[in-house]
Structure 1
């Protein structure tokens, strides 16, 4: 674009883009406006459009263009223009009201935030922004959104801020955090019944916590922490506030992993989380899945933050093993998606215990891992009316695969043979009218640990093989399929016990032969030849 277009020309193009029913005209307008956004003239045009404030479309285009230019082409502006750009943006922002469309508000927030991060001469922007917009409740939505995105943009790849600049900005946020917290408290107290504003308050706090911009001494004991747990314990809390508070608590729990720096905050959060099980059970009773997931996220985040203490000093201080009880409670939920949230903690716990290689420590955690495996066995059950063999693309099949991998990771804590025997005992103790899905789930768990069974076992494995090989043809195909997989997983044991190969050769079903491992097939061929 060789010269600056007139404002009227831009408005015509915008009208063609948003209102012209002609597809060809829309495409031409889109291409032309795209070229305008790339040009240096976009700065002035977008500023003029915002001043004109003619309609939603032109204002959104202007705000989005301004944000994009600041983010990707800030180098186009000479340093002498930075001050006027800032003043112009803030002036546009003062005209924002509760009627301003959120998309325009968000783009202006990002434009101001990105400008403050890149404009090194703009010192301590947060106090200035709070002073300018915090006096008018009509502008609180904008201010809260701006204070939320500002810490989030620090690590934006598009801005490419250097390490020194990021550190400088973070220090400024830390210094401004008391003022920011006072604003959040004031807004929360004034707009107590406004659900939208309440959610914005907690999202803003979460953003600052994630950026490590709130020292614990500034937040502990404040009404904000109490408000977080009040929301979580109130069954009537609106879903959007409940989710915003969950994100905030998870951010807080994440940073308290550094107990030397955040021990007092950790204690306050620990006591609050330990009071949430009743609220969790209510969410389950009322089948409020979203809130149930939120509680599970909080329990899991706390467990991960205190993992090192849990392993080093179990049942002492933050190593309180009631934290594991919270997670097992979630694993027992009837929806497998809830249990899935906890998996990363169990992986990390098994890795920590494996590295320490201390049997007395393993014994401390053994009962919890045993209960975990039993709960996972229940989670792996197909619906009793399920037909055929599940497709590999099925989400539940994918979940079962993750269960298998998890059990392989944690089973050393409880011993593979004990797990194998426990599952087989469960099978033997099932009543005659037990449905096929419970048996299949137990065999599935046995598959996960079968390769670890020692070849010198002469008691349990023969019983398992005999039971599998004697399954009637009427057995549900999914149960038969898992049984065949179990035989394949026992290939190492079978290789050391050739007396069983004779029985295996009687299973001539093509499905069986294909599904068995290559080692089983090799053993059978040797047996037949000999």
Structure 2
């Protein structure tokens, strides 16, 4: 008893004393104690004795005792004699019963980890799971006993995996252990179903029991023990019915989704079974959540439906009524105007995977092509509208995201990540619809006009999308009307420097990106390069737009060389070069600007004019060169 009190005092000092030297001393003493033989008896007594210490931290002492036993069993369990193992087994069963009805799940988990590890050591050549059921069957007759059994079943696959990894040196032994789990899976399923059919109280207690069953189920699924359920029995399997019932309970919704997603990754027949219930998921769960704005349910259903499609895209390609319901539901999720972009983002991989299947599908048959045109292309057209809407969700972009000079923009991480993930899908959509149809969607609505208020949020998002698909558009040779871009250049050039901040600065940068990506086509479209040059010159002076504008300047100078030889354009280029020293460019941006100017000047056919331009361009460097020579 004296040693037990010392342990309690040391635990109290370790967790609550304000003096660091006392905490260090307590920790050192406890480390030495748990390495001693006396630790077995003291830790067991703490967990099984009804005696309470004088501290308010009984739970901390009990938790420490459970951890001691777990660690000592892991490291020294093989050396325990048979009688000692049996005594410890009975003590742990008593502790599990004692703490199963308590408020501390973590303590019960530690006890069950110790108990499961001991069973592996106690029956090295027997059947641990059978031994487990035999040892704990008396627990079920006690109040809260089913909770202890659930917890032990939950931790058992984890303990099994650790034991196999650390101790099974041959594939044969590993296989035998894994087969024990598979062999007893039906027994576990039967036990879980029995628990799900019972009613242990109501309200919070019932919800907590459901979550424990789901956690146990998830543990066994991750161990690969549910992969052999016959596909034909899946749609009406009692376990699936229980999970779907759990989906309708708010407190167990997330766990139920996690179990279904994990099951799908391990059972090829499950996507078809879930697809047969897609109407239920949409009508009973998704639509009410969309109406009320319940983002938890929307996010969960979006994740689940996306996984169904990704796991078995061939089912979606058949364009069955269930597949169409799933696609329509995911369109609703992608368009949902949530506070962040996670819900829309979670659907992107589904649409990308499906697009990849469509693009790689054999379209030689008329029926296949008809399905593509009548089902999938309209769906992807609607998806593009939804994604452009979500990509322009700047309602949350406010002044706090810009620094004092308005030229540094700190966008929400969710939006930045969403746009990064969106790139591949936008390219897929452009390939599916064709670049001409894609561009038509981008320019639809006449969103640039001098006479009306320009919807700058929409413009910026559409410019982002157009820039992303530039490679596809250029390859397919779609005929774009760049007059819209020139109108934007004119409108933005007429803005004062004070106006070019925040969202307007983002639009400015997006226009520069478009000029860079489509410079060859723009140069063929233009007859006067002066407005574009002045636009880029202003952009270079803005830190946020500097890189995009300098890159666009170089590409435009290379692709529109003939236009750049006009005297007024050469004057602008030299003026830009003369101002380089006054601006603090990054090395990369300076290289782009200097490269653009030297390319144009170097290609001027008139040698005298070329020499004069070079003298003007290099004159600011003469003084510095002279100083270097004099040294």
TM-score bracket, shorter-length normalisation: 0.7 to 0.9
Q: Per-residue displacement from partner, 1:18-73 (whole Å, max 9, x unpaired)?
A: 454443212210233234445666445433432346432221001122223445x2
TM-score normalized with structure 1 length: 0.84
Q: Name the residue aligned to 1:299.
A: 305
Q: Per-residue displacement from partner, 1:373-430 (whole Å, max 9, x unpaired)?
A: 2211010113357345641563322322222343235532223343123111244499
Change over 3 Å in CA distance of 1:467–1:58 after alignment to 2: same
Structure 1 residue 107, shift from structure 2 partner: 0.8
Structure 1 residue 288, shift from structure 2 partner: 2.0
Structure 1 residue 300, shift from structure 2 partner: 1.6
Q: How do residues 69-148 of structure 1 correspond to structure 2 at under 5 angstroms?
A: 69-71=72-74, 73-74=75-76, 77=79, 85-99=88-102, 101-116=104-119, 120-125=124-129, 126-128=132-134, 131-148=137-154
Q: Per-residue displacement from partner, 1:97-145 (whole Å, max 9, x unpaired)?
A: 4126222101112222344456633414253356243333422222112
- For the residue of structure 1 that corresponds to 2:144, the secondary structure is helix
Q: How do residues 353-364 of structure 1 correspond to structure 2 at under 5 angstroms?
A: 353-356=358-361, 358=363, 363=373
- For the residue of structure 1 that corresponds to 2:444, the secondary structure is helix
Structure 1 residue 244, shift from structure 2 partner: 2.2
Change over 3 Å in CA distance of 1:486–1:266 after alignment to 2: closer
Q: Name the residue aligned to 1:515.
A: 548
Residue 479 of structure 1 pairs with residue 507 of structure 2: yes
RMSD, aligned CA: 3.5
Structure 1 residue 455, shift from structure 2 partner: 7.3
Q: Is the 8 A contact 2:533 2:553 kept in 1?
A: no
Change over 3 Å in CA distance of 1:427–1:149 after alignment to 2: farther
Q: Which has the larger radius of gyration?
A: 2
Q: Name the residue aligned to 1:24.
A: 21
Q: Name the residue aligned to 1:340.
A: 345
2:209 to 197, 219, 236: 197
Q: Is the 8 A contact 1:427 1:439 kept in 2?
A: no
Structure 1 residue 341, shift from structure 2 partner: 1.2
- For the residue of structure 2 that corresponds to 1:506, the secondary structure is helix
Change over 3 Å in CA distance of 1:255–1:343 after alignment to 2: same
Runs of 5+ consecutive residues of structure 2 not aligned to the other structure: 53-57, 403-407, 565-569, 571-600, 605-631
Q: Name the residue aligned to 2:609.
A: none
Q: Name the residue aligned to 1:315.
A: 319
Higher mean C-alpha displacement, 239-248 vs 363-372: 363-372
Q: Per-residue displacement from partner, 1:140-165 (whole Å, max 9, x unpaired)?
A: 22211221222244444995364545
Q: Is the 8 A contact 1:307 1:349 kept in 2?
A: yes
Please give the alpha-carbon distance, in whole angstroms, between the structure 1 residues aligned to 2:528 and 2:159. Answer: 65
Q: How many residues get paired?
A: 512
- For the residue of structure 2 that corresponds to 1:160, the secondary structure is helix
2:243 to 228, 235, 258: 228
Change over 3 Å in CA distance of 1:449–1:517 after alignment to 2: farther
Structure 1 residue 479, shift from structure 2 partner: 2.4
Please give the alpha-carbon distance, in whole angstroms, between the structure 2 residues aligned to 1:123 and 1:241. Answer: 33
Please give the alpha-carbon distance, in whole angstroms, between the structure 2 residues aligned to 1:45 and 1:158. Answer: 30
Please give the alpha-carbon distance, in whole angstroms, between the structure 1 residues aligned to 2:423 and 2:112. Answer: 46
Q: Is the 8 A contact 2:100 2:108 kept in 1?
A: no
Q: Name the residue aligned to 2:470.
A: 450
Change over 3 Å in CA distance of 1:459–1:18 after alignment to 2: closer
Please give the alpha-carbon distance, in whole angstroms, between the structure 2 residues aligned to 1:133 and 1:223. Answer: 25
- For the residue of structure 2 that corresponds to 1:402, the secondary structure is helix
Q: Name the residue aligned to 1:262.
A: none
Higher mean C-alpha displacement, 152-161 vs 107-116: 152-161
Q: Is the 8 A contact 2:43 2:66 kept in 1?
A: yes
Runs of 5+ consecutive residues of structure 1 not aligned to the other structure: 260-264
Change over 3 Å in CA distance of 1:304–1:70 after alignment to 2: farther
Q: Name the residue aligned to 1:408.
A: 427
Q: Name the residue aligned to 2:229.
A: 216
Q: Is the 8 A contact 2:516 2:555 kept in 1?
A: no
Q: Name the residue aligned to 2:533.
A: 505
